[in-house]
Amino acid sequence: MATEQEKDKMTAAESCGCDEMAALKDKMTAEESCACDDRATEPCACGHRLRERSPQEHRNLINRLNRIEGQIRGIKGMVERDAYCIDILTQVAAASAALNSFTRVLLEDHIKTCVTRDIQEGKEETVDELLNTLQKLMK
């Protein structure tokens, strides 16, 4: 049976279409891991960049996402039970706030780590990437 971390990797592999990571569906061991291993910080063969996170950071992000997922399932259940519109909208607002909070935490961490490191290394294109991301988030 796959561990939670392996399940997260499999989900990432499915969403990005990375053939190398898709091999995780066969429950790869650490010795068999490809260049897409979550401990890597350099791009893998498919070109996806990765970010090593501490166990605490990883746990914090996953816990936030699990709570958001639970809220979304709760909203779906409310719709299935024909709950009152205002009650559903109240829960949607709470889920949106939780997702916005997750975004702020991730963005703050990204700026403090990845962006800072890239600028120190002279990778000016990181600023453009950040600006493009902020434009998407502000829509």
Q: What are the tens digits of pLDDT across the range 77-92?
A: 999 999 999 999 999 9
Structure tokens at 54: 């501490």
Q: What is the pTM of this model?
A: 0.65
Q: Going from the N-terminus, what domains does the chain have, and what CATH number goes with each?
A: 1-52 (no CATH), 54-139 (1.20.58.1000)
Instruction: Specify whether the CB–CB gap between 21 and 36 falls below 8 A.
Output: yes
Query: What is the 8-class DSSP label of residue 24?
Result: G
List Cβ neighbours of 102 (8 Å cut-off, separation of 6 or more): 61, 64, 65, 68
C-alpha torsion angle, residues 63, 64, 70, 72 (rounded to 10)? -160
List Cβ neighbours of 11 (8 Å cut-off, separation of 6 or more): none
pLDDT, residue 42, reads 54
Q: What are the tens digits of pLDDT across the range 2-50?
A: 555 555 555 554 445 554 444 444 433 333 333 334 444 555 555 568 8
How far apart, in Å, do the first and last CA atoms of the chain sit? 40
Structure tokens at 61: 């992000």
Structure tokens at 130: 């950040």
How many residues are recorded in the chain?
A: 139
